[in-house]
Chains A and B, each alone.
Chain A
Amino acid sequence: MALVTETDYGTPAPKSERKVALTIDGVGIEVAEGTSIMRAAMDMGTKIPKLCATDTLEPFGSCRLCLVEIQGRNGTPASCTTPVAEGMVVRTQTERLKALRKGVMELYISDHPLDCLTCAANGDCELQTEAGAVGLRDVRYGYAGSNHFDGKKDESNPYFTYDPAKCIVCNRCVRACEEVQGTFALTIDGRGFDSRVAPGQNEPFFESECVSCGACVQACPTATLSEKSLIAIGQPEHSAVTTCAYCGVGCTFKAEMRGEELVRMVPHKDGKANHGHSCVKGRFAWGYATHKDRILNPMIRAKVSDPWREVSWEEAIHHAASEFRRIQSAHGPRSIGGITSSRCTNEETYLVQKLIRGGFGNNNVDTCARVCHSPTGYGLKTAFGTSAGTQDFDSVDHSDVILVVGANPTDGHPVFGSRMKRRLREGAKLIVIDPRRIDLVRTPHVQADYHLALQPGTNVAILSAIAHVIVTEGLVNEAFVRERCDWSEFEDWAAFVAEARNSPEEVAKFSGVPADLIRSAARLYATGGDAAIYYGLGVTEHSQGSTTVLAIANLALATGNLGRPGVGVNPLRGQNNVQGACDMGSFPHEFAGYRHVSDDSARHIYESLWGVDLDNEPGLRIPNMLDAAVEGTFRGIYIQGEDILQSDPDTHHVAAGLAAMECVVVQDLFLNETANYAHVFLPGSTFLEKDGTFTNAERRIQRVRKVMSPKNGYGDWEITMLLANAMGFPMTYRHPSEIMDEIAATTPSFAGVSFAKLDEAGSVQWPCNEAAPEGTPVMHIGGFASGKGKFVVTEYIPTDERTGPRFPLLLTTGRILSHYNVGAQTRRTENVAWHPEDLLEIHPHDAELRGVKEGDWVKVLSRAGETTLRALITDRVAPGVVYTTFHHPTTQANVVTTDFSDWATNCPEFKVTAVQISPSNGPSDWQESYREQAEQSRRIISVEAAE
């Protein structure tokens, strides 16, 4: 396997389809209008020397190395900033150009340290390469220029270093921070020889507003900005293109290796989800894969109060299988079930649900989407006929108006957040509906046109009020509605939203959003051009989560914002493979491809293939499983890569459910919180250790490629096979590609998907079948899967979780950039430097009323429980609202969340919990006892290997 290299064309590709013909070095060539001479030359294989240019950034024209001669024009213009013209005749190599370039390079080298042999970039340094390209043999000015050797290296960032001595002031890092990431954290400070890269107000990188996305490191042509892992290990010698295992953006990376050691993860320019960009998690936070906490041997124990005992794989699997069969024989076939993982591959998820349906003989399978995007599945299937977002990420480049509801893209989906910011800097308008002032509301060169800071729990009312304005002010796209929707359903809906109680003036009374703001936002969404909606868990994690998704779909239908680039309804999925886990039949009521278990034709496909009779009744959802466990009818569970004790609401109830079970089997990288209640632990593998596919939020199926042997011995798909075989339900796949072949053969929307197809195309977006052999970037062009788009009346029903004298504040929860979900992975990386603990955001007014100061311990008390954490006083939250994250088990934010849930899907109402805040002296008694219990539970008795 070789190192995957990408061609750098020097400047970005233009969007024009018009062609221009010119001659370069005597060769005729035709390129798109707007192409730079540099790029046109590279198109025909001629590399013009360059330093400040790279094709991920706009041309800058500062290094003066890429000079060319153009017939009939004076001087030697920079080829990066000079666009081609019809009939142009260009020379890239003449005596004059050679002399000029050599002179420029002499100046660069005169103050550059010549320590190439010990430099981290040795072998991958553009300065070194270009010095060779221009034939530099001597430096007339000597080598005693100001080389900044006395300048202090900035090693404050956990992942990369800044060495001013190596800097050639090409500005690529500064421009990458601006153009690609959109943070504007860097500048060049000083002039001439004193010039240096300055983060923030000339402070260390770690203390600046730098978000450690790595774009600057990626852009740096020398060793000025270098990964610490590269400095420690050396240059990689081979690489494989794979997909990030963090959020639902699904960035493609080159895993650059030396042997089986990962040197660095470099974002892949050809990645269709990320186009060469990354965030701090995917780019740098992969150290968990080799963290000392990782469990590598299977373990069992009779009681959860016992220490763990390491055993062979054979013993662990046999024990789990025999326990499951014992429970079923005593309590019936529906007394056990399982949970698939949105962190695992499609193939692994498919196998777990297959094991449960075919091997366990019931449909008690669910997935973590239950607690995040299950309302998306219900809502979008009802409205459009398909349980998925409508667009690809590239679509945002065509949006004129972007409406963000209950999502925080710059933290939760940072690479797409950067993409969105770029479009906003180009002039698109922005509406944010969120109780909290997320970064997008006001960030460098981006400002929301309208921020509707609503009271948590009033989403449906606000969206209906927006619809009220659209309907009553005649802003409906009637042609679209008449053609694409059921007109009588539209009329019913329009009559409903037009009622006075849904007007902005009425809704303003309880939502906290002024009526004129609602009206202005509605007018902008309906009339501002192509308008796209992006939403997250602030929409779904409510008692009316599914209704909110339907209300969003209503807006898109009414304004005709569907079926073309730039528009649509786009759920931003939390985990890397939430979409895929749902697609693969992880819900208890449906098979892969969203076909209900009572659908005889779908069920017969699997019955004949798997050779077993399948249950035609829906199974238990995760909260129902826990209820049934407490009740005594559900007694065993197989949990792959999911930590329900930390991620699910009402921790006390989750703990009671797990404690009531007779056999809890946890398959994970670490002894997570759920494993405190487990009887069997099966060590899992990381995304670096197996083959497979992930499906991102835009339905894009991408390859995961194995770059190292599984440290635990098996890929997760192999472990599920071991369990299935031990339970007498044979599975004989030799490679995950064979599992995908079965998925394709049995699931109409995946019929055209195979590993060979993905290797050839890079990725495809489902549906990928005979009707769409290359996949479907934008859905619902010309029609909906269900025929007509469905308008649904969305009555606002306030949550029963109410504030009052005892619990006067509303707690809402969310994520932060540096951590991912329950933090099991990111807490085991240097990312803890940014966010070592969960904090409670509280408005200064509420803090003062309670005598709370910045950094104080505070108690958060709800009807469900209490926890303590430190206060962060900020007006990012409105008075009456507090906010925290759920990344740290020592905080256990879900001790206070309630078991209220979405009416349609049981998705928990994480976003609305009535609480009281009061000063505290430190962790609560419960937190202390939990910590002790967790420590006890994690005791391991190691067994010496036999001689």
Chain B
Amino acid sequence: MTPDKQISKLVYMANQIGHFFASQTGDAKVDGVADHIAKFWDPRMREKIISHVRQGGEGVDALVKEAVMKLDDKTATPAI
């Protein structure tokens, strides 16, 4: 799997998570995505998506970008 393919797979997975939380009501959409990634993604996967978003985040939906930036800020410690 090439690095491009790896990152595009992670972008796809992150956007899938984003699609779910985008449909939720209330104001927890961004936190929902960030919390889900923090809870279930291994650190190397998180680092990759964070790095990708830092570089512009091509292909990453806006909601997910916001969530990933939050993760970056929080140094990726998941909430329970």
Residues of A within 8 A of B (CB): 334, 363-364, 492, 496, 543, 547, 588-589, 596, 598-599, 616-621, 624, 627-628, 630-631, 633, 656, 792-795, 797, 899, 901, 903-906
B20, closest chain A residue (CB)? A903
Residues of B within 8 A of A (CB): 1, 3, 6, 9, 13, 16-17, 19-20, 23-26, 36, 39-45, 76-80
Counting chain B CB atoms within 10 Å of each CB, the highest count among A496, A618, A906 belongs to A618
Chain A residues with Cβ under 8 A from B39's Cβ? 589, 596, 598, 618
How far is B45's CA from A627's CA once the two chains are assembled, in angstroms?
Answer: 10
A-B contact pairs, 5 of them (CB 8 A): A496-B25, A596-B39, A618-B40, A628-B44, A630-B1
Q: Is the CB of B80 within 8 A of A904?
A: no
Q: Is the CB of B43 within 8 A of A599?
A: no
Q: Is the CB of A617 within 8 A of B42?
A: yes
- B41: contacting residue among A616, A618, A899, CB under 8 A: A618
Chain B residues with Cβ under 8 A from A589's Cβ? 39-40
How far is B45's CA from A620's CA once the two chains are assembled, in angstroms?
Answer: 9
Counting chain A CB atoms within 10 Å of each CB, the highest count among B19, B20, B43, B78 belongs to B20
B23, closest chain A residue (CB)? A795
Q: Is the CB of B20 within 8 A of A627?
A: no
Q: Is the CB of A364 within 8 A of B42?
A: yes
The 5 nearest A-B residue pairs measured at CB: A795-B23, A903-B16, A492-B25, A630-B1, A620-B42
Q: Is the CB of B42 within 8 A of A618?
A: yes
Q: Is the CB of B42 within 8 A of A624?
A: yes
Counting chain B CB atoms within 10 Å of each CB, the highest count among A598, A617, A628, A899 belongs to A617
Least Cβ distance of B9 to chain A in Å?
7
A601, closest chain B residue (CB)? B80
How far is B41's CA from A508's CA once the two chains are assembled, in angstroms?
Answer: 37
Q: Is the CB of B9 within 8 A of A627?
A: yes
Main secondary structure of the interface of A (DSSP, over half): loop
How far is B76's CA from A794's CA once the two chains are assembled, in angstroms?
Answer: 27
B12, closest chain A residue (CB)? A800
Chain A residues with Cβ under 8 A from B40's Cβ? 589, 618, 621, 904-905
Q: Is the CB of B45 within 8 A of A624?
A: yes
Q: Is the CB of A492 within 8 A of B26?
A: yes
Q: Is the CB of A543 within 8 A of B16?
A: yes
How far is B42's CA from A627's CA once the two chains are assembled, in angstroms?
Answer: 12
Chain B residues with Cβ under 8 A from A619's Cβ? 42
Q: Is the CB of B19 within 8 A of A793?
A: no
- B6: contacting residue among A334, A588, A617, A631, CB under 8 A: A631
Chain A residues with Cβ under 8 A from B79's Cβ? 598
Chain A residues with Cβ under 8 A from B77's Cβ? 598, 616
Q: Is the CB of A792 within 8 A of B24?
A: yes
Q: Is the CB of B17 within 8 A of A903?
A: yes
Chain B residues with Cβ under 8 A from A496's Cβ? 25
A794, closest chain B residue (CB)? B23
Chain A residues with Cβ under 8 A from B16's Cβ? 543, 903
How far is B80's CA from A492's CA once the two chains are assembled, in angstroms?
Answer: 24
Least Cβ distance of B46 to chain A in Å?
9
A600, closest chain B residue (CB)? B80
How far is B3's CA from A618's CA once the two chains are assembled, in angstroms?
Answer: 22
Counting chain A CB atoms within 10 Å of each CB, the highest count among B9, B23, B77 belongs to B23
A795, closest chain B residue (CB)? B23
Chain B residues with Cβ under 8 A from A797's Cβ? 19-20
Least Cβ distance of A491 to chain B in Å?
9
A906, closest chain B residue (CB)? B13
B76, closest chain A residue (CB)? A617
How far is B39's CA from A599's CA once the two chains are assembled, in angstroms?
Answer: 11
Q: Is the CB of A627 within 8 A of B6?
A: yes
Given contacts A334-B42, A631-B1, A656-B1, 18 further A-B contacts (CB under 8 A): A334-B44, A588-B42, A589-B39, A598-B39, A598-B77, A616-B77, A618-B40, A620-B42, A620-B45, A621-B40, A621-B42, A624-B45, A627-B1, A793-B24, A899-B9, A903-B16, A903-B17, A903-B20
How far is B78's CA from A792's CA once the two chains are assembled, in angstroms?
Answer: 21
Chain A residues with Cβ under 8 A from B45's Cβ? 620, 624
Q: Is the CB of A904 within 8 A of B36?
A: yes
- B20: contacting residue among A547, A596, A618, A899, CB under 8 A: A547
How far is B46's CA from A624's CA once the two chains are assembled, in angstroms?
Answer: 12
How far is B23's CA from A803's CA once the two chains are assembled, in angstroms?
Answer: 25
Contact A793 B42, CB 8 Å, known A596-B80, A598-B78, A630-B1: no
How far is B18's CA from A331's CA once the two chains are assembled, in angstroms?
Answer: 32
Chain A residues with Cβ under 8 A from B1's Cβ? 627, 630-631, 656
Chain B residues with Cβ under 8 A from A794's Cβ? 23
How far is B76's CA from A618's CA once the two chains are assembled, in angstroms?
Answer: 11
- B25: contacting residue among A364, A628, A793, CB under 8 A: A793
Q: Is the CB of A618 within 8 A of B78?
A: yes
A602, closest chain B residue (CB)? B80
How far is B25's CA from A633's CA once the two chains are assembled, in angstroms?
Answer: 38
Least Cβ distance of A260 to chain B in Å?
45
Q: Is the CB of B17 within 8 A of A904?
A: yes
Chain A residues with Cβ under 8 A from B41's Cβ? 618, 624
Least Cβ distance of B79 to chain A in Å?
8
How far is B45's CA from A906's CA once the two chains are assembled, in angstroms?
Answer: 13
B14, closest chain A residue (CB)? A903
Chain B residues with Cβ under 8 A from A656's Cβ? 1
Chain A residues with Cβ under 8 A from B44's Cβ? 334, 628, 633
Least Cβ distance of B80 to chain A in Å?
5
How far is B3's CA from A588's CA once the two chains are assembled, in angstroms?
Answer: 24
How far is B20's CA from A617's CA once the two chains are assembled, in angstroms?
Answer: 23
Counting chain A CB atoms within 10 Å of each CB, the highest count among B36, B39, B42, B78 belongs to B42
Chain A residues with Cβ under 8 A from B76's Cβ? 617
Chain B residues with Cβ under 8 A from A596's Cβ? 39, 78, 80
Least Cβ distance of B15 to chain A in Å?
9
B48, closest chain A residue (CB)? A631
Chain B residues with Cβ under 8 A from A588's Cβ? 42
Least Cβ distance of A616 to chain B in Å?
8
Least Cβ distance of B45 to chain A in Å?
6
A617, closest chain B residue (CB)? B43
A796, closest chain B residue (CB)? B23
How far is B45's CA from A797's CA once the two chains are assembled, in angstroms?
Answer: 24
Q: Is the CB of B24 within 8 A of A599?
A: no
A660, closest chain B residue (CB)? B1
B17, closest chain A residue (CB)? A903
Least Cβ distance of A374 to chain B in Å?
10
How far is B76's CA from A793's CA once the two chains are assembled, in angstroms?
Answer: 27
Least Cβ distance of A903 to chain B in Å?
4
Chain B residues with Cβ under 8 A from A793's Cβ? 23-25
A364, closest chain B residue (CB)? B42
Least Cβ distance of B31 to chain A in Å?
15
Least Cβ distance of B73 to chain A in Å?
17
Chain B residues with Cβ under 8 A from A792's Cβ? 24
Chain B residues with Cβ under 8 A from A906's Cβ? 13
Least Cβ distance of B33 to chain A in Å?
11
B44, closest chain A residue (CB)? A633
How far is B48's CA from A633's CA once the two chains are assembled, in angstroms?
Answer: 13
Contact A903 B19, CB 8 Å, known A598-B78, A627-B6: yes
Contact A795 B20, CB 8 Å, known A334-B44, A364-B42, A617-B43: yes
How far is B50's CA from A341's CA once the two chains are assembled, in angstroms?
Answer: 33
How far is B21's CA from A794's CA once the two chains are assembled, in angstroms?
Answer: 10
How far is B3's CA from A904's CA once the two chains are assembled, in angstroms?
Answer: 23
Least Cβ distance of B4 to chain A in Å?
12
Chain B residues with Cβ under 8 A from A905's Cβ? 40
- A904: contacting residue among B9, B20, B23, CB under 8 A: B20
Counting chain A CB atoms within 10 Å of each CB, the highest count among B6, B43, B76 belongs to B43
A599, closest chain B residue (CB)? B80
How far is B59's CA from A14's CA once the two chains are assembled, in angstroms?
Answer: 65
